[in-house]
C-alpha cells in the first residue's frame, strides 16, 4: 500500500502516516472491524539552528495513557502549545512523580560528566529512531536504559532528543536548568554525525 501510494502521489520528500482505528462501533465503545488509513504528508526540514545550537524545553507532569503504544492522542501537547511558545521553548518534557518519561513526540537522553548516556526505559513509547541511536551509541559510549529523574538535570552535562525528523537534536535548556555550557556537547555532536553517516550508508545500500 505504501509503495503504491508513493508512486501515485509522487511527493519527493514526505512522511508516511499509518493509522489503525477501532472501526465502527455499535455502542460507541466496543471495537468493530478495524479501519486502516495510510496517508502521505509532505515534510520540510526543521530549522538548522535547532541542530547546531540546540533547543529549549519546558516540563509538565503528565503520564500518557498506555504510554508504550503510539496513539493519536496529542491533546495535552496541543493544549500546552501556548505555554511552550510563551516560554520560548520548542517542545515539552513529560515527567511523572519525579521521573522523566518522554517529549510529546520524541525521546530524551541525558549525558553525565563521564560521558555515560541515560534514557528512560519504561513507561514510554520506544521510538524507532531512539532504538537506532541506542545501537549506534553503545558502540562508543556506555548507555543506560533506566529510571531517569528530574533532579539529575542539576548535574547533567548534555541532553538531546531523538525522533523521525529530529534525528539527534541537542537540548540547551530545560525549564530554568541550563544544560552543561548551554551549547551542544561533544557526545551529542559525535552522535549527530554518526547518525547522519548511518543514514547515508543505509540509503546507499538499499
Are residues 34 and 62 located together in one domain of the fold? no
The pair phi, psi for residue 80, each rounded to 5°, is -90, 0
What per-residue confidence (pLDDT) applies to 14? 86
Are residues 64 and 20 located together in one domain of the fold? no
Position 25 confidence tier, pLDDT thresholds 50, 70, 90? confident
Write the CA distances from 153 to 18, 98, 175, 176, integer angstroms. 35, 11, 10, 10
Looking at the structure of the chain, the number of domains it has is: 2
Percentage of residues in the chain having pLDDT higher than 70:
100
Are residues 37 and 52 located together in one domain of the fold? no
Are residues 102 and 143 located together in one domain of the fold? yes
Are residues 81 and 17 located together in one domain of the fold? no
Are residues 23 and 117 located together in one domain of the fold? no
> Is the sign of the CA dihedral 72, 198, 171, 96 positive or negative?
positive
Q: What are the tens digits of pLDDT across the range 36-71? A: 999 998 888 899 999 999 999 999 999 999 999 999
What per-residue confidence (pLDDT) applies to 28? 85
CB 184 within 8 A of CB 193: no
Are residues 139 and 182 located together in one domain of the fold? yes
Q: What are the tens digits of pLDDT across the range 111-132? A: 999 999 999 999 999 999 999 9
Within 13 Å of residue 32, how many CA atoms lie on the same side as its CB? Answer: 10
Q: What are the tens digits of pLDDT across the range 71-95? A: 989 999 999 999 999 999 999 999 9
Within 13 Å of residue 63, how many CA atoms lie on the same side as its CB? Answer: 9
Are residues 63 and 129 located together in one domain of the fold? yes
Are residues 165 and 68 located together in one domain of the fold? yes
Are residues 107 and 53 located together in one domain of the fold? yes
Which structural domain, as residue segments, surrounds residue 133?
48-202
- pTM here is 0.93
CB 96 within 8 A of CB 104: no
Are residues 25 and 107 located together in one domain of the fold? no
Are residues 115 and 33 located together in one domain of the fold? no
Q: What are the tens digits of pLDDT across the range 129-169? A: 999 999 999 999 999 999 999 999 999 999 999 999 999 99
Place of cell 553525565: 112
User: What mean pLDDT is reported for the chain?
Assistant: 94
Q: What is the CATH number of the domain that holds 76?
A: 3.20.10.10
Last residue of a domain, one of 42, 59, 74: 42
Amino acid at each position: 500500500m505504501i509503495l503504491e501510494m508513493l508512486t501515485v502521489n509522487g511527493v519527493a520528500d514526505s512522511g508516511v502516516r499509518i493509522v489503525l482505528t477501532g472501526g465502527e462501533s455499535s455502542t460507541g465503545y466496543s471495537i468493530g472491524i478495524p479501519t486502516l488509513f495510510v496517508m502521505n504528508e509532505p515534510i520540510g526540514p526543521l530549522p538548522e539552528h535547532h541542530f547546531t545550537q540546540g533547543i529549549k524545553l519546558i516540563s509538565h507532569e503528565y503520564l500518557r495513557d498506555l504510554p508504550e503504544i503510539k496513539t493519536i492522542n496529542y491533546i495535552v501537547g496541543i493544549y500546552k502549545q501556548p505555554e511552550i511558545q510563551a516560554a520560548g521553548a520548542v517542545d515539552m518534557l513529560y515527567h511523572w512523580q519525579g521521573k522523566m518519561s518522554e517529549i510529546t513526540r520524541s525521546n530524551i537522553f541525558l549525558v553525565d560528566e563521564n560521558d555515560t548516556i541515560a534514557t528512560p526505559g519504561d513507561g514510554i513509547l520506544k521510538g524507532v529512531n531512539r532504538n537506532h541511536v541506542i545501537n549506534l551509541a553503545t558502540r562508543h559510549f556506555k548507555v543506560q536504559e533506566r529510571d531517569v529523574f528530574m533532579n539529575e538535570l542539576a548535574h547533567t552535562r548534555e541532553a538531546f532528543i531523538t525522533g523521525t525528523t529530529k534525528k539527534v537534536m541537542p537540548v540547551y535548556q530545560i525549564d530554568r536548568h541550563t544544560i552543561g555550557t548551554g551549547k551542544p556537547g561533544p557526545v551529542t555532536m559525535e552522535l549527530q554525525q554518526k547518525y547522519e553517516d548511518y543514514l547515508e550508508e543505509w540509503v546507499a545500500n538499499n
